[in-house]
Copies of this chain bind each other. A is one copy, B any other.
Amino acid sequence: MHPAHVIYALDLFGVGVFAVSGALAAGRKRMDIFGVVVLGLVTALGGGTLRDVLLDSGPVFWIENPVYLLVAAGFSLLTFFAVRIITAHRKGLFISDAFGLAIFTALGTSTALITTESNSVAMVMGVMTGTAGGMMRDVLCAEVPLVLRREIYATAALCGAFVYVLLNGLGVQATPCIIFSTIITLTIRLAAIHWGFALPIFQAADMDNSD
């Protein structure tokens, strides 16, 4: 298989997994079928959409290629009906979600480096592509985004994005950069799920400013 096909397949896999994650979140809030599809679409397509809008590189990716839209909508609908029959395994979902995070972060970093030469901007765009969809999902559920409060999630993405810009700076081609970056994010995230790592929490003696 050609590397570009592998990456495209992984990208669609990430879209499907994130759509399931969004649809399940909608279910926890007792949304109707429309709400489930909207949450699925937002979670799956939100990060990449924000990336394309900020980079200002023409219409967003799912307008250019509606296959992404159809995959996200299809998996959301499937989830809506499947949960009546099968029970979702928490750990299975976390592992699938880790694949989505890893590939989205690598591809987001890759896309950003077409427009910008700044490594810090590319890393921010990569992490954002991987995490913003889940943040939008949580905002629509009127909750503080989980990503901001918990575990080595975004940090795994940050490490993956860092490896990408490091290899890219050494003159490595895009495909191996994407593969290594994905492996790094995935390994750290899976290790965090397995051993339950967490980052230090903000600690202040006595704070109550309010603006």
Interface residues in chain A, defined as those with a beta carbon under 8 Å from any beta carbon in chain B: 21, 23-24, 26-36, 38-39, 41, 49, 53-56, 58-60, 62-63, 66, 69-70, 73, 80, 83-84, 87-88, 90, 93-94, 97, 115-116, 118, 120-121, 124, 134-135, 139-150, 153-155, 158, 198-211
Contact = CB atoms under 8 A, between A and B. Distances in A.
B146 A94 contact: no
A140 B147 contact: no
A144 B140 contact: yes
A27 B204 contact: yes
29 contacts: A21-B211, A26-B202, A27-B204, A30-B201, A30-B202, A32-B198, A33-B200, A34-B154, A34-B155, A34-B199, A35-B145, A35-B148, A36-B202, A49-B54, A53-B54, A59-B115, A63-B116, A80-B202, A83-B202, A87-B206, A88-B204, A88-B207, A94-B211, A139-B139, A140-B144, A141-B144, A142-B143, A146-B211, A153-B211
